[in-house]
Chain A
Amino acid sequence: MARTDIPPTPGLDPSTGEPVDLTAAPEAVPLVPPEIVAQTLAEYMQAWWLRIRSGESGMLPVILALIIIVVVFELISPNHVFLSAGNIVNLFQQSAVFMMLGMAEIFALLLGEIDLSIGYWGAVGGVIAVQLVQPRTTNWPWLPAIVVALLAMGLIGAVQGTLVTRLRLPSFIVTLAGFLIGNGVMLIVLGFGPFSGYPSLNGLSVNLRAIHDLMWGTVTPAVGWIVMIVIVALMGMGLMLRDTRRRRSGLVAPPASLTWIKIAGIAAIGVGVVAVCNLNRAAVGTLEGVPWVIFIVFGVLAAWTFLLQRTRYGRYVYAIGGNPEAARRAGINVTMVRTLAFALCLLTAAIGGILYASLIGGMSNNFPGGQYVLYAVAAAVIGGTSLFGGRGKMAHGVIGGLVIGGIYNGMYLLGLAVQWEFIVTGFVLLFAVTIDSLSRGSTVGGAARHFFGQR
């Protein structure tokens, strides 16, 4: 949302200290969030439009891209099944792993770093959870199994983060090593246990069932409505309270009409999701209700958004991503903040790995760890997070994951083979990075400059 990084010294490139062309620098005014300058809705819209025209387009391009994808696939999919209730639920399940890995990658990208290891370490998290609940071996309850898997991966993330921050190794190389080590560890953990074949989630055990249900379980239609109403009410109250508190303290607050529009938007999305999920999607019999995974994805999104937007830690992350040297001089414990971000990255990736295991009913050695890393970076960048550090939001991972999932789902519906999916996703990624790079103008830095030789 807000650009909280400290502006570079006018006329000097922050990293090289060389003079830069000041005429190319964007104007300062449009970069201020519109809710700070606007007092009425009209002023807000004006400020928002100014911001978009200056290149700070936020999520607008990805929302447009999503609309185009939906319209095109609905038109060309056989019998127009793309927007059927069954397919929309499929699409969300298929995208959930991309979304979770996209959110994981955003922790690294915000710092101007990259984490290539999230695919396989995430999978290791998934294997650990699946192995621990196997009735024939450890037979753990599902919750401790998941917690141990998440903590184990968080610890590995902290180790990788320490190598990057303390030994000043490039994150590209450290996590590339992690990518290989993670793949090997995954194969070792897969092979453990006295049962033959891959660890699966089949069986009558409550704990196998619980992990299986993360992706496949649904709540009844009535519960779906109740939970949706409670969530919308809580979010609305939160927004209203925040504005009221700001006004009472004499701080600028967005116009009240804007807040109401936001609440109405959230409610509309909530009603839409629940209404679609509550349609019967079985050819014979009844299958309806909101899948658990929707609540899981939005729960993680809410938690990480809160962490990044509303806590001191989050502000430090943006400050370091924008300008690490300035952040250090401002007294931020840069090493600590960056190490923790790498830990949170792999912890979130482990949630993605557990969801993957839940989706395919266990874990096997064909987990596409390399492909998923690229999709995670793609999801984040397509969503609007910058490869250059300091700019991005957790919501970008979710919406970017939905774009990639949508492309995949649509191409599956058309019966196109996997090679076309790679090519189309590649072009979408190139397009997104181009927008990111152009909108960033001459002040590029971070991961892209370090690793792709761009300035």
Chain B
Amino acid sequence: MSRSGRLGLVVALSVIAAACGSSPRSSATSSSEAPQVSPRSFTNDFSAMTAFRSLTAAGRGSVAVILPDVTSSTRYVELDAPDLTTAMTAAGLSAGDQVVQNAHGSDSTQLADAEVDVTKGARVLLVDPLDSGVGAEIENYAKSHGVAVIDYDRLTLGGQRSYYVSFDNLQVGRLMGRGLVNCISSWHVSKPKVLVMRGAVTDSSAAIFYQGYIEVLQPYFTAGQYRDVGITAGTWDPSTALSEFEGADKAHPDINAALFANDETATAIISYLRSTRHVAAKVFPTTGQDATLSGLQNVLAGYQCGTVYRPIYLEAQAAVALALYLRAHRSPPPTLVNGTTKDPSANVLVPSVLLAPQWVTMANMKDTIFKDNFVPTSQLCSGAYASACAAAGIKAP
């Protein structure tokens, strides 16, 4: 494409984006240059980012991302880092203004990275803090040096960040609740007796998941369509969760559906159900989240109705988009900053970009996990799962 042609495309895209998302609260200057995006604008081809080129040109300094580690999850190396780089490049940020670092699990490295980024002229830091202690120090440091910070994926409790980008945890909970309800009817479970197993009570996210799925399930309990067998004390530790389930199972041997708040918990209990209660496929509806390998395999095998999937490319693009507004000293549009999240330590509501998680079942696994290459197909479809993959339309390599 010729230079003028590309410029024309950029202008056209900017105009379209500005026209589509025009909001009464946006000022004249910001609507002329800044695209009016919402969390729904982003797709896995990063096309929405090209609309940001004029905004990128209007700012200066680098955007620095500091990811926490390489061990707690492979996502930081395999998904976040490349997706963030792709998003920045697509938005026209020069390679010299892109910094993507990983603290390798060390608080002192994460802090030193932030200090160096600020010293070298970063205007916006995107920080996924290892823990709230170091996160708060980074935000303190950046604020005192006049640099904006965005909390990426994890909220720093007691911090001073400007914005937070993450998935909508209330929606995560609702998806699990609705997924369970749909599954109970499609698997024809008669007289459902539902056990609700929530995540650790100390985790503020777990409380929000709970709020989401209980909002969906409560009407069914109240109307008597489902029997509420109980709600557990709550844990994220799979072996503790299994003990909790065994206790509930002894007291109510007729439990025939359960809400599990993540795939780790679901995996531990599904293997118990299969080995001790000899539960068959598509009989005992369960849920999960995180789209882990074993969670997806349980979905394929019919032991889990679905799992909540967070496409990292959405989070990466939203975070870069927000950073580009701050870098150009523009206030981001309310369509993008679509919610708030409570920081109980600092006792403030943090303006947040809350992205939509997806409910992945056998039916849409091909168009989500497989298309985004979230879990390697070679692992997902190994051995006994090959035929289930074929049934879901996923081709094993």
Q: List A residues at the B interface (Cβ < 8 Å).
A: 78-79, 81, 84, 86-87, 90, 94, 196-203, 216, 281-285, 287, 356, 359-364, 366-368, 408-409, 412-413, 415, 418
Contact = CB atoms under 8 A, between A and B. Distances in A.
Nearest to A367: B107
B112 A94 contact: yes
Given A283-B146, A361-B134, A413-B119, A203 B158 contact: yes
B115 A361 contact: no
A186 to B, nearest CB: 14
A202 B133 contact: yes
Interface of B: 99, 101, 104-109, 111-113, 115-116, 118-121, 123, 130-137, 140-141, 144-147, 157-159, 200, 202-203, 345-346
Contact of B140 (A94, A199, A216): A216
B146 A86 contact: no
B107 A197 contact: no
B199 to A, nearest CB: 12
Greatest chain B CB density within 10 A among A216, A366, A367 is at A366
Contacts of B140: 216, 361
The majority secondary structure among interface residues of chain A is: loop
A84 B119 CA distance: 8
A200 B145 contact: no
Nearest to A88: B119
A203 B133 CA distance: 10
B116 A413 contact: yes
A409 B109 CA distance: 10
Nearest to A410: B116
B137 A360 contact: yes
A389 B101 CA distance: 42
A198 B144 contact: no
A283 B108 contact: no
A196 B201 CA distance: 10
Contacts of A79: 120-121
A282 B146 contact: yes
Contacts of B345: 202-203
Given A412-B112, A413-B119, 12 more contacts: A86-B118, A197-B202, A198-B131, A281-B145, A283-B147, A287-B145, A360-B108, A364-B107, A364-B130, A366-B106, A366-B107, A412-B115
Given A202-B157, A216-B137, A283 B131 contact: no
Contacts of A363: 133
12 contacts: A90-B112, A90-B116, A197-B132, A197-B157, A197-B202, A199-B133, A216-B140, A282-B146, A285-B145, A359-B108, A360-B108, A413-B119
A202 B157 CA distance: 8
Contacts of B147: 283-284
A272 to B, nearest CB: 19
Contact of A198 (B99, B113, B133, B346): B133
